[in-house]
């Protein structure tokens, strides 16, 4: 593997939405992995050494799926990683995602709660790369909770949905949207049989839009990530206007 280059450093700098003494907040592009894996050579984790300023290499404190774009928080040093990681684990912060779904959730706002587990190759759960509804008694089951609110609709064919996860499970939002019968547009793993609106862009339409992070002895910080090109194109096609969500990222849930 080639060492990260000056071009990588310049690229990483273009992703920074916010930086302070504790953290960097990046706008991760869709299609760029957060961590390495089989056949994944280029990933955010492999580039983090380029953001090192003191003695410590910056560190991931949470994850996003490769195809999901948006807010990714990087801690600058171990003390920051401990504090911010604790906020993620303790649900002491608010994360807001935007998604475009195929069809419109009914009711238009609510909370989804269920037990889910990764596929184990059995007839009931054949795909080991996806999550399934599971009984609480299953040793691998994890409880997942998400709030959702429809911001706007395109007839009954699609909806722009704001999502607020209370837990941080793998594929949680993708699984939950499929669970209520309105999968996320462009999701190849949690697919829909419904007709997809014409003229929409390819790619997963899930974006980590905003984060509200508490800080010691200061006001919480709110950072929003601009939409990636493919979701912005689909918004234009379907007639969704970003202003409809309000200025406060949490407005759809109030």
Long-range contacts, 239-242 (Cβ 8 Å, 24+): 239/152, 239/154, 240/100, 240/151, 240/152, 240/154, 240/160, 241/152
Please tell me the total number of residues recorded for the chain in this structure.
254
Omega of the bond leading into 68 within 30 degrees of 0 (cis):
no
Alpha carbons 14 and 60: distance in angstroms, whole number: 18
**Is the CB of residue 238 less than 8 Å from the CB of residue 159?**
no
Q: Which residues carry out catalysis?
A: 65
Question: Alpha helix (H) ranges present in 42-128?
Answer: 44-47, 78-89
Alpha carbons 250 and 44: distance in angstroms, whole number: 27
**Is the CB of residue 172 less than 8 Å from the CB of residue 180?**
no
Question: Alpha helix (H) ranges present in 114-211?
Answer: 172-179
Reading the block at residue 25, the tokens are: 């907040």
Residue 104: DSSP 8-state: -
């Amino acid at each position: 593997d080639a060492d990260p280059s000056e071009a990588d450093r310049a690229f990483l700098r273009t992703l920074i939405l916010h930086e302070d003494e504790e953290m960097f907040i990046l706008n991760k592009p869709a299609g760029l992995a957060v961590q390495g894996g089989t056949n994944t050579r280029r990933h955010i984790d492999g580039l983090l050494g380029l953001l090192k300023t003191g003695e410590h290499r910056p560190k991931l404190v949470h994850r996003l799926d490769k195809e999901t774009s948006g807010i990714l928080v990087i801690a600058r040093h171990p003390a920051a990683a401990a504090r911010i990681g604790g906020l993620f684990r303790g649900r002491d912060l608010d994360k807001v995602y935007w998604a475009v779904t195929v069809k419109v959730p009914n009711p238009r706002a609510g909370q989804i709660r269920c037990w889910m587990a990764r596929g184990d190759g059995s007839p009931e759960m054949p795909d080991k790369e996806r999550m399934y509804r599971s009984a609480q008694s299953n040793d691998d089951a994890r409880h997942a909770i998400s709030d959702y609110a429809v911001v706007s609709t395109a007839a009954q064919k699609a909806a722009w949905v704001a999502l607020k996860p209370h837990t941080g499970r793998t594929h949680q939002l993708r699984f939950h949207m499929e669970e209520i019968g309105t999968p996320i547009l462009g999701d190849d793993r949690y697919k829909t049989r419904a007709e997809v609106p014409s003229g929409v862009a390819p790619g997963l339409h899930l974006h980590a839009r905003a984060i509200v992070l508490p800080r010691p002895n200061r006001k919480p910080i709110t950072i929003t990530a601009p939409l990636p090109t493919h979701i912005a194109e689909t918004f234009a096609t379907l007639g969704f206007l970003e202003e409809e969500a309000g200025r406060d990222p949490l407005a759809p849930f109030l």
